[in-house]
Amino acid sequence: MEGYIYLVYSSTFFVLLFAVSTVYAHPPSDIKITFDPEIKILQAVIIHNTSNPIYK
């Protein structure tokens, strides 16, 4: 019984690992980087368009 539980857990791990590794993330649509030398602040704004209506 203990070997069976190990087999189920390890199989589940590899299935999830494969599913996550096949996800494709498209690149950002724009990257804006500014630096203010007077106050030594680097600011990066990364624009990433999404079709998810929750974040519109």
- Greater model confidence, 32 or 6: 32
Please tell me which residue, 40 or 56, carries the higher pLDDT value: 40
Predicted confidence at residue 27, as pLDDT, reads 79
The domain ranges of the chain are 2-55
Structure tokens at 35: 């630096």
pLDDT band at 50 (very low <50, low <70, confident <90, very high): confident
Write out pLDDT tens, residues 7-36. 777 777 767 666 655 556 677 889 999 999
Query: What is the pLDDT confidence band of residue 54, given thresholds at 50, 70 and 90?
Result: low
